[in-house]
Amino acid sequence: MLIFILRRLAQAVLTIFGVMLLTFLLFRVIAGDVAAANLGEKANQRQKAAWRHRYGYDKPRFLNLHRRLTIVDKAGGEGAFNAMDVNLSTLAEALALFIEAPPAEEDPNAKGEHRPQLMGRYVWFLGRDTPIEELTEGAALIDPNWAVPGATTKPASGTRPPSTRPAAHSARSQPATQPAPSQPASKPASAAKPTGPHMALTLSDGAVLHIAVQDLRTCGDLMDRINNHPDNRGRVEATISSRTWYEVFDSQFFHHLKDSATFQTRSLKGEKKKMTQIIADRAPASLSITVPAMVIQFMVGMAISCFVAYYRGTLIDKIGVFLCVLGMCVPFLAFMIYGQWAMFEIAPRHAYGTFFRGNVYLPISIMVVAGLGGMVRFYRTIILDETGRDYVRTAKAKGVTLPGILFKHVLRNCMLPILTSVILAIPFLIMGSLLVESYFGIPGLGDLMITSINDRNEPIMNGMVFLTALIYTVGLLLTDISYAIFDPRIRLR
């Protein structure tokens, strides 16, 4: 039995891994931009990048062989470090530069000195020769509405605008009778400010570095333009983040597996609680309706099944089968709608919500009645199939009464399919009922699942799917073990 259990546990691990891989592909790869769903479509690229970094959505999806552009403020001032686009430049927005939050904001127990730094996107094998288009995901560096003074056409999006003519050439092109206008003395290189589109880096000490956008071709060009700026003097450094071999698994998928398996996922909405706290808060509400409903439904279903099976072929059996089929034909939603309507007519305060203890009676009753028809049909078929066995005929020949045969022998041999249906219903006890909890305002795990889907609360959806898969695989294992316990003829091999 031990070898069988270990083999089934290994199969369960592979099954859960497959489920988590499927949920990752559905919720993160296929579902689209999670940041836009949470921040709104009007959020700019820098706001989305900061949100993704905060929740780990900016990491590579499977393997982390990426690096990112990092601009570190070393001025040591008390002001804010920021990057701003000037004169229709879109460089800071295209790079999605965002300020990294201090460790204390992410972890109150974090210690150590923190230097403000602007960070860009992760880029596959980022290096100095990486084209600037890969850092910006193909976005234009200059607003297409910008035009060079004196030019008759606007530069195309993503292309370098034409350079202006030199001042000397302009002077020579004037008539000889008019003297060339005197040119003002140029400012020192350290105070030069680009007249065209540029990115303004505001350092913590108040200094501003104006980084021209024109002629940027590679990541190295941008880094050199920042590091070699005349006003820099070591106060800011643009570099490429370093990676180590063990950080290859620092990706979204592996964090998705780890956080789900340890129930450390946090909600993106509200108080941002951990999954363990959410389960502790909401599981009692789900269990308060699912456990009584399951127990009552099982006891009533078994009683009715034995009763109609005892009167097989009679009018009682036919009426029972008719009512069971009729109950199976009515949709579960119809039971909820008409049941709540009747409760609003009788006792409105008990028809919705959890303000009163008696509010759980209505959803429990609906769950029992809605599932009773299928359960009675299933149990009746099992009992009638067992009554046709040879040992039943032998017991009848020996004079054993029919109730004694039914309740002493038949029910015992019917335990295997009954155990299967009961144990496989256990996962849904903890997870609750999606429709019932949402419809009757019960703050359980089922209602949480519906709310998470509507709000695109992806970590909670992952945690709920993992919890369901875990409990379901454990339930299947318990079913196999119970077979060997209740039927000595079965061996686990």
- Reported as a single tens digit per residue, the pLDDT across 61-95 is 898 889 999 999 988 888 889 999 988 888 989 99
Q: Taking the CB of residue 231, how many other CB atoms lie within 10 A of it?
A: 17
The DSSP string of 131-182 is BHHHHHTT--SB-TT---TT-SSPPPTTSPPPPPPPHHHHHHTS-TTSPPPP
Q: Is the pLDDT of residue 231 over 70?
A: yes
List domains and CATH numbers for the chain.
Answer: 66-149+191-242 (no CATH), 281-486 (1.10.3720.10)
Name beta bridge partners: 237: 72
Give the angle 371-376-380 at the CA atoms, nearest 5°: 160
Region 106-122: mean pLDDT is 69
Q: Is the pLDDT of residue 131 over 90?
A: yes
287/289 Cα distance (integer angstroms): 5
Q: How far is CA 304 from the centre of its chain?
A: 44
Nearest to 123 by CA among 35, 60, 63, 61: 60
Region 139-155: mean pLDDT is 59
Contacts of residue 71, defined as CB under 8 A and 6 or more positions apart, other chains included, come to: 83, 97, 117, 118, 119, 201, 226, 236, 237, 238, 239
- Reported as a single tens digit per residue, the pLDDT across 150-173 is 433 333 333 344 333 333 333 333
Region 424-436: mean pLDDT is 75
Task: Report the sign of the C-alpha dihedral through residues 18, 19, 23, 24, in that order.
Answer: negative
Q: Which residue has the tokens 């940041």?
A: 35
Q: How far is CA 433 from the centre of its chain?
A: 20
- Reported as a single tens digit per residue, the pLDDT across 307-364 is 888 888 889 889 988 999 998 898 888 888 888 898 888 888 888 888 888 888 889 9
Query: In percent, how much of the chain has pLDDT > 90?
Result: 13
Residue 114 in 3-state DSSP? coil
Contacts of residue 12, defined as CB under 8 A and 6 or more positions apart, other chains included, come to: 473, 474, 476, 477
